[in-house]
Amino acid sequence: MSDTSSPQPIIGARLQQAAASGIRHGFFTRSGGVSDGIYRGLNVGLGSNDEPQNVEENRRRVSAWFGQPLDRLATAHQVHSPDVVTVGADYDGSRPKADAQVTATPGIVLGVLTADCGPILFADPENRVIGAAHAGWKGALTGVLENTIEAMIALGACRQSIHATLGPSISGANYEVGPEFVDRFANEDPAFTAFFTPSAKLGHAMFDLPGLTLMRLAKAGIEVDTLGLCTYADPDAFYSYRRTTHAGEPDYGRQISAIAILED
C-alpha cells in the first residue's frame, strides 16, 4: 500500500456554499490511496489494469469520506456521450453507459472519473438536487452539460439556483490537436474556433477544453467557476491520459470528483 492517509479532496468555492444545505463535494487527487507503480495513489478506475483490490479500497475511501459505504458510490460506465442517468433510492450499484448522473436522493454519492477530461459537479442547494458530469471534447460538444442541467430540473431543480464547478482537467497549453479536430468544431459552430490557437506544429492547434466547457455552462444560465488546475501539468496530484501516452506508459489511473446530499 502506498498511502495510509485519508483522501483530502479539493473543495470548490462556489459549491462550498451548498454545504449549509447538506450537500458535500470533493475533487479528489492522487493522495490518500493504496495503489502502486504507475497507478500510485487514489486510482478509482475500474477500467484500469490496476489490482482490483486496490481500486476497490480506493473507492471505499472515497465513499467513506462522505460517510457512506462503498455500495452507495454511483459511477457510470463513461462512453463520451451526452447521456444522463437519474439515480434514485432504488440504486443497485449498476454502472449504466452514460456520462452524467443526477439525483435528489440523500446518501448517494455521484462520482465521475477523469484523466484529462473535465469533471463538473452541480448543486442546487435550495431544492437539494445534485449532478456530476464527465465532459471530454465529445461530451462538451454534443450536449452532456446541458442535458445534465435539464435532468436536474426534471427532479425539481431551478436553473437560477444551480451552481457548478469545473474540476481538474487538461489545459489548452497541453492539449494539441490536428486540423480535422478543429474542422469538426468549426463545422458545428464557427464561434467554437475561438477555443483554438495555432501550435508549433504546422496545421495543428492547442485546444482550450476548459474554456469551451465554461462557456457552454454560462450560456446555459448556470453560475459556474473553475479550479483552474491542469491534470497534464501536475503528475504528483493527477492522472493524465495524454501525459501517459507521451511517456509511453502502458496504462493510467483515474481520479474521481464526487458530490452527495448528506442524510439527515
Average per-residue pLDDT in the chain? 96
Other beta carbons within 10 Å of 181: 16
Domain-located, residue 176: no
**Assigned domain for 194 exists:** no
The band of 4, judged by pLDDT with boundaries at 50, 70 and 90, is low
Which candidate, 62, 54, 52, places its Cα nearest to that of 113?
62
DSSP string for residues in 147-199: HHHHHHHHTT--GGG-EEEE-S---GGG-EE-HHHHHHHHHH-GGGGGGEEE-
pLDDT in tens, 148-183: 999 999 999 999 999 999 999 999 999 999 999 999
pTM above 0.85, yes or no: yes
pLDDT digits (tens, 9 = 90+) for 35-76: 999 999 999 999 999 999 999 999 999 999 999 999 999 999
Q: What percent of the chain has pLDDT over 90?
A: 97
Residue 3 inside a domain? The answer is no
Task: Round to whole Å and give the CA distance between 195 and 211.
Answer: 7
| Residues comprising the chain, all counted | 264
pLDDT tens digits for range 13-27: 999 999 999 999 999
**2 located within any domain:** no
Q: Is residue 189 assigned to a domain? A: no
Residue 141 domain flag: yes
pLDDT exceeds cutoff 80 at 78: yes
In which residue are the cell numbers 454502472 written?
95
Give 5's pLDDT tier (boundaries 50, 70, 90): confident
Residue 2, pLDDT score: 57
Is residue 139 scored above 60 in pLDDT? Answer: yes
Q: Which domain holds residue 25?
A: 13-171+208-261
DSSP 8-state secondary structure symbol assigned to residue 6 = P
**C-alpha Rg value of the chain to the nearest Å:** 18
Residue 30 gets which letter from DSSP?
A: S
Give the CATH number of the domain where residue 250 resides. Answer: 3.60.140.10
Q: Is residue 188 part of a domain?
A: no
Number of domains composing the chain: 1
Please check whether residue 177 lies inside any domain of the structure. no
